[in-house]
Amino acid sequence: MSSAGNSQPNGAPAIHAEQLCRHYRMGETVIRAVDGVTLEVCAGQFVALLGSSGSGKSSILNLIAGLDRPTSGGVTVHGHNLAHLSREELARYRLHTVGMVFQSFNLIPSMTLSENVELPMRFAEIERGKRDSLAREALARVGLETRMNHRPSELSGGEQQRAALARALINRPRLLLADEPTGNLDSHTGTEIMNMVREFNQQLGMTVVMVTHERALAERYAQRLIFLADGKLVSDEANSAFVTSGGTEQARR
C-alpha cells in the first residue's frame, strides 16, 4: 500500500526547491510572496511550514503542488522538474503525484462523498467498477463508510476533512500537501485528522508537507520545522520534540 514504485532510497530528496521565487504584481508594486527559497525534503519526511499569514508558506505549497508556476527558480518533485512541464503534464503530475487537503476542505458541494472521492479517479480514467470499490475502501479507511452517499453540507467539519483526506489519497500519491488542515476544526477533531495524516505518513511512507501557523501542532506531528517570513526562509530545524506514535524518534522509513 506504500507509494508504489518509490525506488528512491530513504532520505533521497522528494522535493528540491532552488532559489524559488514567486512575485505578484499589484499595480506598481511587486509583492514578493516567495523570495529565493532553497530547500530539500526527503522522501517520507513530515515537514511543517510555519509562519504568520503573508509569510509565503501557502505560496510555496502551491508551487510544490504545481498549481502555480514560480517567477524564477525551480522545484523538482520526485524527478519532475515542474518548470519544464506543460500545463497538461502539470495536471497529470497533480493527478498522480500530489494529494492536497485544504483548510476549507474544498469538497464539491453538489456531489456526494463517494463522488467527491471518485473525482480524481475520473480524471485518471479509471473504470467505473474499480472506482466504486476504491472509493468505498478509501472512505472506510477514514471511517466514513456509512456516509458515502451524503453531501458535504450534511457532514461536520471533521467528517468533511476526513473525506478530503480520502480524496487526496485515492490516486496513491507520494506527496501529501496540507494547507492548514485543522484551521477550521476544533482541537479534538483537529487531533483526529492529524493522527490520520501521521498514520499515512508512517504507514504509507508518504512525504507530507503541512502549512500551519500553529507551532504546537507542528511540534507535535512534524519531524522538521521550517519557518518563513516575508517569503524568505528564516530557520529550518529538526523537531526536537518530535515523538512518533510508535515511540521512536524518527519515522522508520
Partner 1 sequence: MKLPDLAELAMRNLRESVLRNSLTTIGISVGVASLVAMLSLGIGLQQLASRRLMKSGLFDTVVATSRRDLHNFNRDQEASGPAPGESRILDETTRQEIEHMPNVLEAYPDIRFITELRYEDKPHLTMVAALPSSAQSTDAFDALQGHFFSSDTAPEAVIQKTFAEELLGKTPKAGLDPSNVATLAAPLLGKELTMRYAQREAARSAPATAAKENAAADQGLAGAAYSVVSRELKLKIVGVADLDPESMRGPTRARVFLPLKLAESLHVMQPTDLREISRAPTDQPVYSSVSVRVKNPSQVQTVEDAIKKMGFNTFSILDASRSIQQFFKVLDVFLGIFGSLALAVAFIGIVNTLVMAILERRREIGIMKAVGASDGDVKRLFFAEAGAMGILGGIVGVVLGWAIGQLINLGTNVYLKRQSFPPEHFWSVPWWLVVFALVFSFLVSLAAGLYPAGRAARLDPVQALRYE
| Residues of this chain that bind partner 1 (CB under 8 A) | 62, 65, 67-68, 87-88, 91-92, 94-96, 100, 102, 104, 106-108, 110-111, 119-120, 122-125, 128, 167-168, 171
- Of 164 and 225, the one with the shorter C-beta distance to partner 1 is 164
C-alpha cell at 241: 520534540
- Interatomic CA distance for residues 234 and 231, integer angstroms: 9
Shortest distance in whole angstroms from residue 13 CB to partner 1:
23
- Shortest Cβ distance from residue 246 to partner 1 (Å)? 31
In the chain, alpha helices (H):
57-65, 87-96, 113-123, 128-141, 157-169, 187-203, 215-221
- Comparing CA positions, the residue from 99, 111, 193, 100 lying closest to residue 152 is 111
The nearest distance, CB 253 to partner 1, in angstroms, is 25
Q: CB neighbours (10 Å) of residue 96? A: 15
Q: What phi, psi does 154 have (nearest 5°)?
A: -90, 0
91 versus 140: smaller Cβ distance to partner 1? 91
- Residue 56 or 120: which CB sits closer to partner 1? 120
> Smaller CB distance to partner 1: residue 91 or 241?
91
| Residue 46 grid coordinates | 513530515
CB nearer to partner 1: pick between 136 and 151: 151
In whole angstroms, the minimum distance from the beta carbon of 103 to partner 1 comes to 10
Q: Alpha-carbon distance 121 to 107, whole Å?
A: 15
Residue 77 pairs in a beta bridge with 15, 80
User: Nearest approach, Cβ of 181 to partner 1 (angstroms)?
Assistant: 14
Handedness of CA 27, 106, 168, 228 (dihedral sign): positive
